[in-house]
Amino acid sequence: MKKKSDRLSPPERRSQLIEATLICLMREGARGLSSRKICAQAQVSVGLLNHHFSSQEQLVAAAYEESSRRHHETLRARIQADAQNQDAPIKTLVSCAFEEDIMHPDQLRAWVVFWSKTIDSKMMRATHDRINERLQSYLIEVLAQSLPNCAGDLRVLAIEYSALVDGLWLDWSLNGKHQSAELWQTILNQWLDRTLALASAPVPD
């Protein structure tokens, strides 16, 4: 009897292998980056993995891209669905930052692998730069809509937001096992209050 995976189309097989890679990385971090473990998770042969991905580097880059795509699409969908904050989508962005379908502590193991490989791999660096530029562009779009009278540099503000969220998420992932994300959300809310106040302040003559 053929395995279910044998009946998948090539794009579906690639997606299956990427999904298995993400699961293994979130479960075990760098230790999960094993062809044997990934293929066991996907219930396919190592030969099938090698057929679709010529190198481990290519597979990890694809997993990084997919993880980022999901995060970006979830954020965009959440903002579009929030009818109350259409004029200030930054409020929605901040309010959902620590919800589990946006960010989850288990994702840290996978992202540590992605980030570490970005240092030495040209392919991973290119993937990272593409992901970062896409996120920054979207944040600038959200900020521009939310702060139409802001006199400051929106790109700088977007980088500030990204750095703050990444830092808070890292701290939450490492130290928040026995408590909710309320503390980290409060810090992010304070950033939002300061940003909105600064944007609404009159420009000096």
pLDDT along the chain (205 residues), means of 10: 62 96 96 96 95 96 96 93 90 90 85 95 97 95 91 90 93 81 92 84 56
Q: Does residue 104 form part of some domain?
A: yes
Q: Are residues 174 and 107 in the same domain?
A: yes
Is the CA virtual torsion 102, 104, 108, 109 positive or negative? negative
C-beta separation of 161 from 190 below 8 A: no
For tokens 């503000």, what's the residue?
A: 157
Q: Are residues 140 and 185 in the same domain?
A: yes
Q: Are residues 30 and 130 in the same domain?
A: no
Name the domain count of the chain.
Answer: 2
Predicted local confidence at residue 85, as pLDDT: 87
Q: Does residue 73 form part of some domain?
A: yes
Q: Which domain holds residue 26?
A: 7-54
Q: Are residues 85 and 34 in the same domain?
A: no
C-beta separation of 112 from 105 below 8 A: no
Q: Are residues 82 and 163 in the same domain?
A: yes
Q: Are residues 41 and 76 in the same domain?
A: no
Q: Are residues 121 and 82 in the same domain?
A: yes
Predicted local confidence at residue 14, as pLDDT: 96
Q: Are residues 65 and 161 in the same domain?
A: yes
